[in-house]
Amino acid sequence: MVVLLGDKCAEYGGQVDVEAHIETCSGILWRELEHSGDEILQLVIQCAEELPHKSTLYATLVGLLNLEDEEFGRKVVDTSHAKLQDALDSENCHKIRILMRFITVLMCSNVIPPSSVIEVFETLLSSATTTVDEERGNPAWQARADFYIFCILGCLPWGGLELAERVPDDLDRVMTEIEAYLSIRKHIFEPAFLPFETPADDNKDGGQDFLEDLWERIKLLCEDGWKVDSVPRPHLAFESRLVTGKSYEFRPVTCPEQPDQPSPSSDVMIGRQRHEAELKYPQRIQRLHIFPVSRTEENMKPIDRFVVEEYLLDIMLYLNGCRKQCAAYMASLPVTFRYEYLMAETIFSQLLLLPNPPFKGCYYALVIIDLCKALPGAFPTVVAGAVRSLFERVNDLDLECQARLILWLSQHLSNFQFIWQWEEWLHVLDLPRWSPQRVFVQEVLQREVRLSYWEKIMQSIQKAPGLEELLPPKDGSCFKYADQKGDQSEGVEFSLSKELNNLVKDKKTSREILSWVEENIIAVHGHNVAIDVVVQTLLHIGSKSFSHLFTVLERYGNIISKLGSGQSNEILVIEETSKIFQNNTQMAAIAIDRMMVYRIVSNLSIVTWVFSPSNVEQFHTSDRPWEILRNALDKTYNRISDLRKGVISVEKSVQKAIEAKAKAQADLDSAEALLEAAESEELQGQMAVKLKRLKAAVERTKQEESSEQESLEAKDALLSRALSENEVLFITLYRCFSDALMKHSSVDLTEKQEDVLGTDQREQMSIDSEEPSAMDADDDERRNQRFSKSNGLHSQAEQQWCRCTLGQLRALTRKYATEIWPHIDKIDAEVFTGDIHPSVVKAVYSALRRPV
């Protein structure tokens, strides 16, 4: 009953009266308080924390129970205080935000006095103001200060009316202090962390960041008398009773001490601290606008948008393990206006959130699917409209966001029989191969083939048959030692491949096959031919399925490893793997990934191969090289993460071993003292036996400690080696990006010229269509002239190549910033101070939030 409180009420899409439901629940709980008070207390607090969209209902319930049992009300306040203080100390952002809201609505139910809420607000305000002060604070931690202010502002839609009625002067003082804070804080504008490089014409936020936008909405709410239609106020029905209840002082809370400013101060030290702050207190920079504001905020006040967004984000956060219930709650919020467009925009804002979404993309796909089923008459149309809007602006969409959108759309369509109005996108066939819209459709279709089969996807685009040319070839394997009929042809290399194939069929051991390769191929035809024949033949055998591929690599991977010893040979192995799977990107990516797992090829070899000339030319026409590169970096990151977890685990084991040794030694010392004090021979004999056993225990614990220490040293050595290799990896990666840009650009880009290619000021690249409107034609002409004049590049294809390459560089730096910062001094010294393309520096610095 407590968990489902209010779910069947009119405000949440039901027909039950909310006041009667709360009254019934409080009556039942009151009768159980004497026997199960602690359990009820924990349950109510947990519901308020994990179902925060119903916090007003739970606060009213606590208020009614407080009338019957004051001890219960006091315990709720004390528990909320302890949890809030713990959340502040552990820097748990979500709990801080939710508990701040809960104590605010408890104030509305007269469980907490308004003066206590104001005191909490001022504590956070004081900490925030001190943080951004150049002399007394540490502005690198502005993310925490902004978060505290956001928490205060976020409470006002739920409790601003009561505070204005009961402590108006205190509320005015808080509002004045917030305005003063906003005047001294640094405005946040980080284009590298925005989904779109330029805002839509009808959705500009006036240059405001998210906190400034929220402040404007709160000021409008204040002018409107703090009336919020989207926040239920069930306590008003019991107001005459609640005012007679006892209020409990909410003891002061303390904010954690801010880290000292780095000394000596440098942009690297400041950047590291700022990155740490952003990790602990992630910020929403600006809203993602997909639809016109007239649709998303139709029939609602400005503050209602913020409240509905909070409802939706809270539900997705706390019900991520119950997607059916999550969709049900999202579809029945306690508001009187339609919010399907706002709901879609909020979900996509999380899916496309940079640098990382809160959850994996498949979670948001499942939520959207369930919402389409829960609201079949409205939401599918809204989702389709969002896809069309994003597709229209895909030229301006961040490269990483494009990749996420492609994965989501292919998965979404796979749950609806791949039905889509493909004829709407037929015009992409008239666009160049490098056009972002054409590449988008191509990648979606290729991802769909992975989730189904070629014939099924071919059938789904029957109404747009021209799109067939964007599908991958039906035959995924390109075995070079087979004729067109699939039978092996004659010739030296063909016969060698056939003989190797027979050896595998005869189940010869890898040692026997390696000996045959050395005698019959390497000795006669050379090492390169051996790599060619062996890799092509073995992977052809494993090309039937993933399980066949994994089996071949497990059994015969050491043969490829011996042949591919050295980076140049590893690159040849990767190249042959790519060739045989040139029509099947998924198999190529998985094969190379497994080779890295089995240590057949290294991440450095993969990076070098990705930037080979044949791949560089695909940077703007295919996601194939980027997918392989991302897999290699992900695998490297996962190895380091596993090693870190291993070190932490062994450190705990070492600590336990030390404690066990200390306890055993203490027991031994105590037994020796008792032995010396023993008077009777019988007691001395007993103590001697015990002493012998305790000495053995001490020796055993010493050995265990020594073993754990050795294990820790080995783990530390492996981690140090992995971090060193990681440092080399990123240095190599940045050099490859710079070299590729230097070779590909027709002229050297100066820093001024790069302003156009950079994320913060880059204009959307235009693509000529057959029948452009006059306004579009004028805009395209201006953009073309600006690109041509500023960049000195010869063609739009080269412009798009640079845009894609720099976009991928930003995306990779953004994603692995935590791994890059520890090595930034070495990277600066070996890469960014040398002869490096200026666009690389700008892209990397923007992704790391470093000033150029």
Q: Which residue has 């590893």 as its token pair?
A: 570
d(CA 46, CA 83): 11
d(CA 526, CA 515): 14
In a shared domain, residues 98 and 208: yes
Alpha helix positions (H), 773-835: 774-791, 796-815, 817-820, 824-827
The 10 Å Cβ neighbour count of residue 412 is 19
Domain termination site, one of 634, 655, 676: 634
Closest by CA position to 757, among listed 833, 837, 848: 837
d(CA 332, CA 323): 14
3-state secondary structure of 196: strand
Query: Which residues have a Cβ under 8 Å from the Cβ of 148 and sit 6 or more positions away?
Result: 124, 125, 127, 128, 255
Q: What is the mean pLDDT of the chain?
A: 88
In a domain, 47, yes or no: yes
pLDDT of residue 487: 47
d(CA 226, CA 284): 24
User: 197-228 burial string, b = 16+ CB within 10 Å, else e?
Assistant: bbbbeebeeeebbbbbbbbebbeebbeeebeb
614-617 own/partner pairs: CB under 8 Å, 24+ apart: 616/740, 616/743, 616/744
Q: Which residue has 């079949």 as its token pair?
A: 376
In a domain, 659, yes or no: no
In a shared domain, residues 235 and 313: no
pLDDT of residue 776: 44
Residue 679 burial by CB count (10 A; 0-12/13-18/19+): exposed, middle or buried? exposed
Q: What are phi and psi of 196, to 5 degrees?
A: -105, 140
Torsion sign over Cα 112, 118, 123, 125 = positive
Return the top range by mean pLDDT from 34-38, 157-161, 256-260.
157-161
Determine which of 60-64, 277-281, 803-807, 848-852 has the lowest per-residue pLDDT on average. 848-852
3-state secondary structure 141-191: HHHHHHHHHHHHHHHHHHHHHHHHHHCHHHHHHHHHHHHHHHHHCCCCCCH
In a shared domain, residues 29 and 163: yes
Greatest Cα pair distance in the chain: 112
d(CA 505, CA 110): 80
Alpha helix positions (H), 264-322: 267-280, 293-296, 302-318
Torsion sign over Cα 206, 212, 213, 217 = negative
d(CA 153, CA 218): 7
In a shared domain, residues 336 and 276: no
pLDDT of residue 591: 95
In a shared domain, residues 360 and 244: no
* Amino acid in position 6: G
In a domain, 227, yes or no: yes
pLDDT: which is higher, 681 or 415: 415
In a domain, 823, yes or no: no
Q: Is the pLDDT assigned to residue 93 strictly greater than 90?
A: yes
- Structure tokens given for 67: 């009338």
Domain termination site, one of 608, 634, 660: 634
Q: pLDDT tens digits for 625-676?
A: 999 999 999 999 999 999 999 999 999 999 999 999 899 888 888 877 877 7
As separate numbers, helices (DSSP H) first and strands (DSSP E) second, the chain gives: 36, 0
In a shared domain, residues 54 and 200: yes
pLDDT of residue 15: 65
Query: What are the E-state strand segments in 596-674?
Result: none
Domain termination site, one of 576, 602, 634: 634
d(CA 269, CA 279): 16
In a shared domain, residues 246 and 321: no
Any bridge partners for residue 16, and if so which?
9
DSSP state of 586: H
Residue 830 burial by CB count (10 A; 0-12/13-18/19+): exposed, middle or buried? middle
* Amino acid in position 38: D
pLDDT of residue 770: 36
CATH number at residue 369: 1.25.40.180
In a domain, 778, yes or no: no
Q: Is the pLDDT assigned to residue 38 strictly greater than 60?
A: yes
Determine which of 184-193, 463-472, 688-697 has the lowest per-residue pLDDT on average. 688-697
Q: Is the pLDDT assigned to residue 66 strictly greater than 80?
A: yes
In a shared domain, residues 208 and 308: no
pLDDT category of residue 780 using cuts at 50, 70 and 90: very low
Q: Is the pLDDT assigned to residue 450 strictly greater than 90?
A: yes
Count of the separate structural domains present in the chain: 3
In a shared domain, residues 196 and 313: no
Torsion sign over Cα 64, 70, 74, 75 = negative
Q: Which residue has 């002869």 as its token pair?
A: 835
Determine which of 354-368, 625-639, 790-804 has the lowest per-residue pLDDT on average. 790-804
3-state secondary structure of 435: coil
In a shared domain, residues 179 and 298: no
DSSP state of 397: B
3-state secondary structure of 371: helix
In a domain, 819, yes or no: no
- Structure tokens given for 134: 């150049």
pTM higher than 0.85 for the full model? yes
- Structure tokens given for 204: 């500009």
In a shared domain, residues 29 and 61: yes
CB 332 within 8 A of CB 9: no
In a domain, 229, yes or no: yes
* Domain coverage including residue 32: 2-254+264-280
pLDDT of residue 287: 87
In a domain, 655, yes or no: no
d(CA 802, CA 796): 10
In a shared domain, residues 231 and 323: no
| Helix, strand, coil percentages, rounded to 5, for the chain | 70, 0, 25
Query: Which residues have a Cβ under 8 Å from the Cβ of 838 and sit 6 or more positions away?
Result: 749, 750, 751, 754
d(CA 384, CA 681): 92
pLDDT category of residue 387 using cuts at 50, 70 and 90: very high
